Amino acid sequence: MRPIALIAVNVFRESVRDKVLYNLVLFAVALIGASYVIGQLTAGQDIKIIKDLGLAAISLFGLFIAVFIGIGLVSKEVEKQSVYALLAKPVTRTDIVLGKYAGLILTLAVNLAVMTVALYAVLAVMAWMGMHPTPGLDPATLDPGLLTAIALIFVELAVVTAIALFFSTFSTPMLSAALTFAFFIAGRFSTDLDHFNTVTDSRAALWLTTGLYWVLPNFGPFDVRAEVVHGQPLPTGEILMTVLYGVLYTSALLVAATFVFSRRDFK
């Protein structure tokens, strides 16, 4: 466990030194700017819009971090040959894959935590400034349901990171980025694949779409933004099943990434 933790801390340190956390400043500026504009233009709906916008921004910023750091995690190490000295130490190739993954998850967690605090801060300020129908810090403004949505975004990004990491064990960063984005977009529309039988009778097409439905990630259940923003109830069982699905899908990807990485020759 110790080598994995040390490698993870090093990945986190690399993210900090490479100024990845600067995106947080961009996030804060974008959110505060949007809040000001929305406050001027809308009446009564501003808090809901800010919540929706904030969650979308957290998801988008997180996605960029997960993909653009994830694709370089292993490939950069191999390309620049820093893996030569690392593998000579008492670490296994599995330690390297898991350590790299854990490091990026730590980076994402810190990013999401700071963005969450920023979102709540903007909501609080808007409420205090009277942009809400009932000024003051009421429960509707500082809705803890946002945390559920953000937790699911975090699990979704953990899956995306595992996809990027998997591709980065055998592919170039550019191709890994393209494939990861393709998986992400396909995963968002995965439910449509399950309903393909309503638009075609072709058996081959149905086998293909059913196969893809089972192989591709299904990111649909991770998106509960609309429910949270509009205060609709979120069944705990469904949330837990979604988290479990994310954990299992991530585990399968990490096993596959380790399998590929453990058999690679570093020429």
Partner 1 sequence: MAAALATDDLTKDYRVGFWRTRPYRALDALTLQVQPGEVFGFLGPNGAGKTTTLKILMGLVFPTSGRAEMFGRPVGDLHVKRRLGYLPEQPYFYDYLTAEELLIYFAGLFGYRGADRRARASAVLDEVEIGAERRRPLRTFSKGMLQRVGIAQALVNDPELVILDEPMSGLDPLGRRAVRALILALRDRGSTVFFSSHVLSDAEALCSRVAILARGRLVTEGRLAEMLEFQVRGWDVVVAGVTPALQAALAARATRMTAIGDGRCAVELPSMYSPETIAADVASAGASIVSINPIRATLEDLFVQQVADAARQVERR
User: Which of 22, 84, 207, 214 is close enough to bind partner 1 by CB under 8 A?
Assistant: 84
Determine the distance from the C-alpha atom of residue 26 to the mean position of all C-alpha atoms in its chain, rounded to a whole number: 18
Q: How many residues bind partner 1 (CB under 8 A)?
A: 24
Q: Which is nearer to partner 1, 80 or 230 (CB)?
A: 80
172 binds partner 1 (CB under 8 A): no
Contacts to partner 1 from residues 205-264, by CB under 8 A = 263
Residue span 28-57 as binding mask against partner 1, x where in contact by CB under 8 A, dash where not: ------------------------------
Nearest to 192 by CA among 213, 208, 211, 206: 213
22 binds partner 1 (CB under 8 A): no
203 binds partner 1 (CB under 8 A): no
Which residues make Cβ contacts (< 8 Å) with residue 59, sequence separation at least 6? 153, 156, 157, 225
Q: Which stretch binds partner 1 (CB under 8 A): 77-85, 100-108, 176-184, 197-205?
A: 77-85
User: Which of 3, 30, 48, 212 is close enough to bind partner 1 by CB under 8 A?
Assistant: 3
120-125 contacts, C-beta under 8 A, 24 or more apart: 120/146, 122/31, 122/32, 122/35, 122/50, 122/54, 123/47, 123/50, 123/51, 123/54, 125/35
2 binds partner 1 (CB under 8 A): yes
* Assigned token pair, 63: 């996605």
Q: Which is nearer to partner 1, 195 or 263 (CB)?
A: 263
CA angle (259 as vertex; 253, 260 as ends), nearest 5: 90
Rounded Cα–Cα distance for residues 38 and 60 (Å): 20
106 binds partner 1 (CB under 8 A): no
Contact criterion met (CB below 8 Å) for 167 and 184: no
Using CB under 8 A, list all residues that contact partner 1.
2-3, 6, 10, 13-14, 17-18, 80-85, 87-92, 263, 265-267
